[in-house]
Structure 1
Amino acid sequence: MNCNADSVSAFGEWTRAEDLPAFACTAGPRQWDPLIDPPSTKNVVHLGNRRITLVADSDGLCGVWDEYVDCRWIAEHTGECDLSGLTAPGKILFGPTFLRVTKADDDVVLERTVLCPEGESPWLLIRVDITSKTALRPTLTERWEVRQRLVSLEFGPPRGENPPATAVVVLEEIGGTRVETADGTLTVERHLDLVPEQTTTVWFRFGIDDGPVDTAVYENSLRRLRERLPRASSEHAPEAEIEVPWHAAMLTGAACVDGLLGGHTLDQGSAYSFRHGFNGAARDPLQHALPLVYFEPDLALSVLRNTCAWGSPDGDLPYALDGRKQPWTQLFRPSDQNLWALWLGAEYVSATGDVQALAEAVPYHPIHQAEPVSLGEHLRRQFRFFVDRVGLGERGHVRILNADWNDVAIVESGVDREWMVEHGESVLNSAMAAWVLPVYAQIADPDTAAEARELADDLRLRVADEWNGRWFRRAYGTGPIGDDELWLEVQPWAILSGAAEPEQARDLLRTIDETCRAGSPLGARVRWPTPGAVWFSINMTLIWAAARHNSDMAWDEWRRMTLHSHAAAYPDIWSGTLSGPDAYLPPESDRPGETWAMPDMGVAMQAYPVANLHSHSQPLLAYLRLLGVEPGRQDRLSGGTFHPNVP
């Protein structure tokens, strides 16, 4: 695909830099409304390595985010480089792990690249190239403002709380002046003697010092980045050539080594982390890690180990961790989370053959004061929790507790909350479990495997009985839920689990096409006829299920999921240009193409509608499923390629 072809975004166009996908931002400031915060002109992209996040702004300024010990802003909207006499506005380019700003006048060109080095370096490497037509002796100034701020469960105006232990942050010219602070302004000046038609390069480092740095890190990082990002091409979706490696870079760049629990975090990001200050739900890092199994399996395993370590020795996973990495269980008590851990564990072993990983010890959260156990034992205990503590309801479906995948399922059901928590059942959980449990059985001990398969067989039959002639019911409260409305969440899992017969599945997909998908440029709505939002997590499973029975519909749904489709439908909205939220509002909304908000509760995805990892992980996983890549499946479907770039 020609990266410059068919450019539709009002903010700029796709290009290439360093032989990598990149986006040239050509638009000036555009105001948008976060709804629960004041109007803003900040349009950011999150770029990272496995430790630090560079929050690159379309005006060339930066933020730095670090989750090593807590959810922490180190710096926000800062990082300026000035050359005396050069005042021209800059050109902005976003690369997969770097921001590049170019300023020029008639005599001088300054190109500044801020790079997140490959690996776990907790600092940014800054390269400044200055080329002059005439002999000049200007002063180059690099300036950053350090304002460390903890973000933890902030549902309302940001508190700006100081972290319990502030890190020492350094700014240094490599080989020259070094300054440091925990809070305040850092400035380094360099007096230059510019030779006409020659380029002078000056190097800086900003962040947490972890030892000496060699400027060779710059080229080595770009080389390693080119080598590790997957490549893709598809006759059905030419956007894959750009978007698959871009999504892979955004996904892996959101990881952070965890200084408390070990392994790596891979949380949702977006408003959940950067505005509201929590890592949740537990299912999300597990889901985000699924595509990593096929191109960065070590990171997928690290995320699985980290998320299992959230739990307690009885196999329970808390809904989330707060900004201080403490379990948060006060609000939601979902019933599906163990299924995601079992799924990721099974998919990892199926793809890699790394059975030994199941024998390696994994800790529990320190608050439990429990001894580590093997990863396999963690998963077995989670299976037991799902069977014995979540359990089944009177109709034989998995209990819903106070939520399943859908955090507000009980509210939307219209059933009394207390009654639903005590008696409600989730057909969605039953259908998902009917697929997950046999896959998990492949890595479980013989007794657990037999029990898992038996339970899956029973649940599959019960889901099959929920067919109402048009679609599958969603849940049970005081009666069936989802007879009069199509709830999309359960439908793909009914197909994937085998609860739907082939002809039934094809009829169901036609119904979804004519209802949930009709007239929606970004993909299927989660509800119909009540228009629901468009959720990446659910439409991934729809694409996967459709690939088995209607490949044209599956590929079309994947294309609707792309950044290209959002830019084509809503060119003036930044979210969806390079990254996005977890869900988009449908075309019937008063803000189509934007995302949800609950202002009365002080909660809004719209307050930080980018850098949600569903917008990156789910297109990747859906693309792999379109190619037939899934546990236990040997065949590969036609219509695309995926080159993971791993040994």
Structure 2
Amino acid sequence: MSAFGEWTTVEGLPAFEYRAGPRPWDPIIDPPTSRNWVHLGNRRITLVADSDGRFGVWDEHLGCRWITERTGIARFGDLSTDSPPAKLFGPTFCRVGVASDPVEIERTVLCPEGEVPWVLIRVDVLNRGDVVLRGALSEEWVVRPRLVDLEFGPVRGDAPPDAPVVALEHFGGERAETTAGTLTVEAALDLAPGERTTVWFRFGLVDGPADPEVLYAASLAGLRNRLPSAPAEIQWHAALLTGGACVDGVLGGHTLNQGSAYSFRHGFNGAARDPLQHALPLVHLEPDLALSVLRNTCAWGSPDGDLPYALDGRKQPWTQLFRPSDQNLWALWLASEYAAATGDLAAFSEPVPYHPCHGADPVPLAENLRRQFRFFADEVGVGEHGHVRILNADWNDLAIKESGVDREVMIERGESVLNSAMAAWVLPVYADLAARLGDDATASEARERAAALRSLVAGEWNGRWFRRAHGPDGKVVGDHDLWLEVQPWAILCGAATADQARALLATIDETCRAGSPLGARHRWPVPDGTHGQVWSSVNMTLIWAAAAYDPEMAWDEWRRMTLHAHTAAYPEVWTGTLSGPDCYLAPESDRPGETWALPDFGTAMQAYPVANLHSHSQPLLAHLRLNGVVPRFGERA
């Protein structure tokens, strides 16, 4: 059982009742804190609900921006919702309760369904006394606009260049506005003994009239209707995943930033592969949002088909740090899965822009994807062994550093068996889409390239596992140690024979999975001087690959990926209770169940170890794969 509280059901939805007092923990690059929090949202804003009853509001419409942080209090006389004893975290709302002898207050802060750019606040007040209760109920929020843009090291606290006007409104009463500073509005109460009343407020970028009571009921009903009919944790993941979306005011569509330390602490949206990954389960849950994320991420790119590593906090391409070689594959995968699941080929005729910095005309989505295929084939290309070039990273941003081969040599001539295996699976799926769009030449080439890569990957079997990468002059990475990320793709793409697949899964079970309650480690043996790491993005593919050969192991690995597994193993760690990072540290670490930190580089997932969308999207996608949902036109596994 969690040291922080327990799961329950509220409004017909999964929720968590938080009962813990202050529990200090160490963000590594920031001062120690006892604050815990969870991110909730709609398709525009994110509500950050804190364990002390305060709130933050994040809006990525124009960049990585806080509207406010650590504020939002209701008061009635001496009674305040600051540090309430009772806190309830729902999938799109937070509810707190406080009481004194004469009065009881229950306050719910909700992100309405859709693209509403403000939070709706419901305050229920009960007169528990035996005399008339009169006084002013107030709402107080401090507007603290802050731009987060490539902050590695201490928080800078930069003001955005064009801070928006933020409003606090009492429905039926007063309204206050500012670009920065304190907002307070009041509602006069006059309650007879035993009488209860509801007062409505809203805070944020107020955009027009609304009926709060209707909107509140419709939002909860809409949420219940759109979440899948599935166990509570699946519903929770779906709500928090979609709650990370934001309609993009620069590029169009919706972004689905992976969040956590990357955006909320360090100020960038990256890598480009990540929103594409997060959107994959949405193909089967909310396909309109999946398509919108695809269009948005394709709009990051340039007319030659390249996708930048990331967008900075001002939504400009950020290419200085990493030059990955895998990103086009994720766009081709998402597009193909969307088309296969929905049959919506008309979407590929609609124009998609390129990033405004390129000054290029929009092209149909199909052409944007064709150019990405061409970039992958012609510019990323293959090396002297025929494998896909690694450039300075593939999926693993630190693959070159960890390879033990000279960095510059690997950038110039290194090859990724991982990318070859992934491409051998993705390209045939994309070929099916290209053929249905009438591009037979691209379809034929994609299939031919996939077949060649599949054959090369098959040759990387060393008797126990598949090698990871090649450098020049006979340098081989992963011959004497197992790199997990390549292994599932070797199975999925058909490079592994059935006997090899079963043997490989047995080896992974005996090594990477041994004694690890949160799932398989991504390296074995764990390199000296490092922490074993468990990556949900990798383990999703492991679950998928294992489903065909060892279903019992696949389901067990999925269960290890769940929030409930983390709570069972590490009940005293808030990270992983309601949300998590992209990676957990393995049990042999000095901080098991927590996450990575690179303090020498001024960066740490541990500084903001929740609200990473991999912790929600990957269990969803793995669950879909376990239930036979695969992206083949007209097929189900």
In the aligned structure 2, how far is the partner of 1:481 from the partner of 1:129? 62
CA distance in 1, matches of 2:352, 2:478: 40
Say whether the 8 Å CA contact 1:628–1:635 is kept in structure 2.
no
Give 1:107 deviation, angstroms. Answer: 3.1
Task: Give the C-alpha shift of residue 281 in structure 1.
Answer: 0.2
Match of 1:472 among 461, 466, 491: 466
The alpha carbon displacement at 1:533 in A equals 0.4
Q: Distance in 2 between matches of 1:194 and 1:92?
A: 25
Matched, 1:458 2:448: no
| Cα deviation code 1:207-237 (max 9, x no counterpart) | 00111111110001000000001122xxxxx
Q: The residue matched to 1:441 in structure 2 has which SS?
A: helix
Q: CA RMSD in A?
A: 1.0
1:430 shift after superposition:
0.2
> Is it true that 1:359 corresponds to 2:349 in the alignment?
yes
Query: Which stretches of structure 1, 4 residues or longer, exceed 4 Å deviation after superposition?
Result: 633-637
Match of 1:340 among 330, 333, 337: 330
Q: 2:139 aligns with which of 130, 139, 142?
A: 142
Residues 171, 187 of structure 1: 8 Å contact kept? yes
Map 1:276-295 → 2, pairs under 5 A: 276-295=266-285
Q: 1:397 aligns with which of 372, 387, 409?
A: 387
Deviations 1:425-467 (A, max 9, x none): 0000000000000000011110000000000000000000000
Q: Does 1:594 align with 2:594?
A: yes
Does residue 513 (structure 1) correspond to residue 509 (structure 2)? The answer is yes
TM-superposed deviation, 1:138: 2.6
Is 1:187 the counterpart of 2:187 in the alignment? Answer: no
1:111 to 106, 109, 116: 106
| Alignment of 1:499 onto 2:492 | no
Q: Normalization by structure 1: what TM-score?
A: 0.95
Match status 1:52 vs 2:45: yes
Counterpart in the other structure of 1:174 = 171
Q: Is 1:123 equivalent to 2:128 in the alignment?
A: no
Aligned counterpart for 1:84 among listed residues 67, 77, 83? 77
Instruction: Find the counterpart in structure 1 of residue 27 from structure 2.
Output: 34
CA apart distance, 1:634: 6.3
**Aligned ranges for residues 94-109 of structure 1 at < 5 Å?**
94-109=89-104
| Residue 429 of structure 2 corresponds to residue 429 of structure 1 | no
Amino acid at match of 1:400: I
| Alpha carbons 1:90, 1:104 under 8 Å: kept | no
What's the counterpart of residue 314 of structure 1?
Answer: 304
Q: Which amino acid aligns with 2:323?
A: R
Distance 1:195 1:280 in 2: 55
* Identity within the alignment, %: 73
Q: Return the letter of the residue paired with 2:517.
A: P
Gaps of 5+ in 1: 1-7, 233-240, 638-647
Q: In 2, Cα distance between the equivalents of 1:633 and 1:43?
A: 44
Q: Which residue of 2 aligns with 1:132?
A: 127
Asked if the contact 2:340/2:634 (under 8 Å) is kept, the reply is no
1:477 deviation in Å? 1.3
Shift of 1:476: 0.5
| Structure 2: runs of 5 or more not aligned | none
Instruction: Supply the distance in 2 between the matched residues of 1:93 and 1:330 (Cα, whole angstroms).
Output: 42
| AA matched with 1:260 | V
Residue aligning to 1:229: 227
Query: What is the CA–CA distance in structure 1 between the aligned matches of 2:485 and 2:315, rounded to whole Å?
Result: 30
- Give the C-alpha shift of residue 105 in structure 1: 2.6
Taking the aligned partners of 1:52 and 1:499, their CA distance within structure 2 comes to 44
Residue number in structure 2 paired with 1:4? none
- Secondary structure at 1:380's aligned position in 2? helix
Q: Look up the match of 1:385.
A: 375
- Are 1:581 and 1:612, in contact at CA under 8 Å, matched by a contact in 2? yes
Distance 1:273 1:290, change over 3 A: same
Distance in 2 (CA, whole Å) between partners of 1:261 and 1:31 is 40
Cα displacement (A) at 1:636: 6.0
Deviation at 1:106, TM superposition (A): 3.3
Indicate the SS of the match to 2:52. Answer: coil
- Aligned mate of 1:158, from 155, 160, 178: 155
**Structure 1 residues 299-356: Cα deviation after superposition (integer angstroms, max 9, x where no partner):** 0000000000000000000000000000000010000000000000000000000000
Q: Residue 432 of structure 2 contacts residue 633 of structure 2 at CA under 8 Å; is this kept in 1?
A: no
Match of 2:317 in 1: 327
SS at match of 2:361: coil
* Alignment check: 8 A CA contact 1:300 1:348 kept: yes
The answer to whether the 8 A contact 1:627-1:636 is kept is no
